Structure formats: structure tokens, C-alpha cells
Amino acid sequence: MPVMRVMASRAWRIYKGTMVEREAELVVIGAGIVGLATALEVTRRFPAMRTIVVEKENRVAAHQTGHNSGVIHSGLYYRTGSLKARNCVAGCAAMKRFCQEQGIPYEECGKLVVATSDEEVPRLEALHERGNANGVPGLRMLERDEFREIEPHCEGKRALHVPSTGIVDYSVVAEKYAELIERAGGEIVFGAKVLGLRDDAGRNVVETTAGTMRSRYVINCAGLYSDTIARMAGLETKLAIVPFRGEYYEIRPERRYLVKNLIYPVPDPRFPFLGVHFTRRVNGSVEAGPNALLAFRREGYAGAPADLGEAMEMLRYPGFWNVVKRYWRKGAAEQYRSWVKPAFTRALQKMVPELQDADLAPGGSGVRAQAVDEAGNLVDDFYFAHSGSMIHVCNVPSPAATASLEIGREVVDMMCERFALQAVPVK
């Protein structure tokens, strides 16, 4: 054998020796709230199933889960009968129960959705009907003097009071899911970026930066990269993730009294995002936002430059151009509000007129993973797909943090059905 080949083969053996090889029955990709909720449900229903969660970052909740508004949504907005509606209403109750049981701070503070013009009132009434049809408890339409008892600085024509809405820190929830998974015998491997997936005689081989995992089943919960992972597995979904950045301002502490809890506008029904709103966080701060901007980087938080490779990939996708064609007017307005702070303030002043530019300090940002089809439709509902012995969680935007426990249950139901598994009855 030529010397060079001997050296190369020895170097490969040494390299392979330093790489860990792990065997599992289930690998979950992504330690965001959805991947963790799924792994947690698996440990409950299949206590003996060897489960590994692989995460490219060095902590849980590093992306969407750790950069959201922290609202426990009630289930008001979503089409009746949709996965979002069902899982959000049930997930809202389940999330509060979980927080109570685990001693996680949360508050059921309620929210107002405010119609600020006469044209918005019929849309607000339609939202009220939809909320009732979805089973959201305690909804009430309020006149101006009634809603100002709840939010004395809020202005508008009428408001819908949603008493079941709550607030929580989803990073804390995700950490608790992780703790319970590990306590039940599951493993979370950090710094393990999935680079490739292949089939080896009926077993999935998951190549990661922390070594190779061989597993009977794989669940892809990679959030902003769920389409990339699905493609690695050879799945043709005809969907791509388009990242939408949301930027927040924070109300300066001395003016927080302007907002007691949560104040939302009536959403534009043609758009899946809720419009800039006010959110009190469990730590007492009050945020205003998020807007919705096309981001040319999947993990492109405010101030981050575009990623050339990811931007090119997006520009090559026909669905991206169809989104631009369809929503360019809305997109331009959102971009303008991002660049021109007084325009952002004006949108908020419709609900709280006393708010001034100087009351707003720059806050954080998050990036939403929104699946888009080739025609440029923003996929509205949660969406899952299968390939071989893998399940791909392809579209779980808001309210997926609220609904995470229910989404975990849905995915494990799919596993049982798809892979003919018999779960241990849960007491």
C-alpha cells in the first residue's frame, strides 16, 4: 500500500477514535421547546426507549424559544378545527398546569385586543366569535369605560378581554423539560450539529459534529433549519423556511405604568403575525413589538449581517419571490417602521396615545421560522411530514411555545401510528 494511503487511513482511524458513536432508539434533533416537549412525552409514554436529543448550540432554547414574547396564548386567532386552534387551547391550559406543578413563575394576567377604529370593530367581533368557537373561556366584549378599568391608558372603540392569556419565560420552561428528560434517563448532547443523515440497513445514521448517532427513529425539530434537515433526509416537501425577524423596544421603567398587562391590536387577517403589541414580561419589564421583517439569515438577530449562502438559497426559491410579490406593501411598511422609530411609536400610540418616542429603548429580537410554499403562501397551520422512520416538524410558528406539550403529544401519537408502537399506559 502506498505510504500516503497508509498514513491517511491511520489518520482517519485516529480521528474516528476520538469521535463518539452512540446508539439510541430515538434521536430528536433540536433542543428548542418543541424538540424537548416531544422527547419529554416519549420518556413518559416509552420509559424504556433510549432517547437522545442533539443540539448544535451549548444550551437549550438558544433560538426561537429563547427569543419570543413569552405569551401563553389563549387560542383566539386560529381557524376553528385547525391544529393551531386545538393545540393552543389545550396547550394553554396544559402549560399553566405544568408551571404550577413544577413551580415555574407564570401569571394568568389576561389581555385586551383593541379596535382603534370603527372599521376594526366588525373584525374584532368576528375574532370574538372565533374564540368562542375554539373554546377560549371567558371572552367578553368591553366598551371604552369598561376596558379602561383594566388598562387605564389604553384608547380605542371597543376591546375584547381575553382573561385566560398568560405570561411565562419559555427558556425556564425548556430548561425544566430538559431536566425532566434527563431525570427520566434521556440524554441531551450539546454542540452536536447535524451534518448528515443516511440509512444503514434500516437504522438512521445521524452524523453530527459531536460524533455519529445510530437510531431506529429520528424526529426533526430543528426550527429555523427544519427544511434543511428534511432535505438531508431526502424529503421533498416543496416548502422552505423563510425567516422573519421580529424586533422589540422596551418601555423605560419610569413609564411602564402605561401598560398593566398585554394590549394587542386587531390583527390583519391576511397576515399570520399579530401586529406590534405591548407585552408585560414575568420579570416586570414591558416590551413593545415585534414587527415582522424578512431576514436574510436564519439566525439573523438585529444588527447581524446577512448570510450570503443562506440569502442566495432564499433568492433561488420561487416561493420567496411569490411572498415578495404578495406582501411587498406590508413588508415595506414593516421595514419603514423598523428604520424610522417615530413610525413604530405611531403604531403603538393608536392603542396607548400617551406613549412617546423617548419612552422606548431598543430591546431584543427574535427570528420566526415560517414555512412558505412555492406559490408564496405562508403555511398557516402546524405542519408535519414523514420520511422512512423519521418525522419532520416542518412548521410550528407561534403559538407553538404555548402549545408545546400538546405538539409533543401529537408527534408521539404520530410515532405510535406510523411506526406501530405500543406505548406504556400513562397514569
Site residues (CB under 6 A) for ligand FAD?
29-35, 54-57, 62-65, 67-71, 73, 193-194, 221-225, 229, 246, 290, 366-368, 396-402
Query: Considering the complex, what minimum distance in angstroms separates the CB of residue 425 from ligand FAD?
Result: 27
Distance of closest approach, residue 222 Cβ to ligand FAD, in angstroms: 4
Task: Spell 203-222 as b/e; 16+ CB within 10 A means b.
Answer: bbbbbbebbbbebbbbbbbb
For residue 80, what is its C-alpha cell? 376553528
Cβ of residue 364: shortest distance to ligand FAD, in angstroms?
9
Task: Name the nearest CA neighbour of 153 among 351, 321, 370.
Answer: 351
Q: Is the dihedral of CA 294, 296, 298, 304 positive or negative?
A: negative
Per the structure block, which three cell numbers stand in for 236? 421533498
Q: Which of 14, 51, 57 is nearest to 36 (CA)?
A: 51
Minimum CB distance to ligand FAD, residue 23 (Å): 18
The helix/strand count (H/E) of the chain reads as 11, 20
| Position of minimal CB gap to ligand FAD | 32
Q: Radius of gyration (Cα) for the chain, nearest Å?
A: 23
Query: How far, in whole angstroms, is CA 257 from its chain's centroid?
Result: 29
User: 61 or 251: whose CB is closer to ligand FAD?
Assistant: 61
How far apart are CB 398 and ligand FAD at their closest, in Å?
Answer: 4
CB of 174 to ligand FAD, least distance (A): 8
Q: Which is nearer to ligand FAD, 37 or 158 (CB)?
A: 37
Q: Which is nearer to ligand FAD, 321 or 383 (CB)?
A: 383
Q: Is residue 112 within 8 Å of residue 155, measured between CB atoms?
A: no
Record the cell numbers describing residue 263, joined without a space: 394590549
Decide whether 130 or 368 has the Cβ nearer to ligand FAD.
368
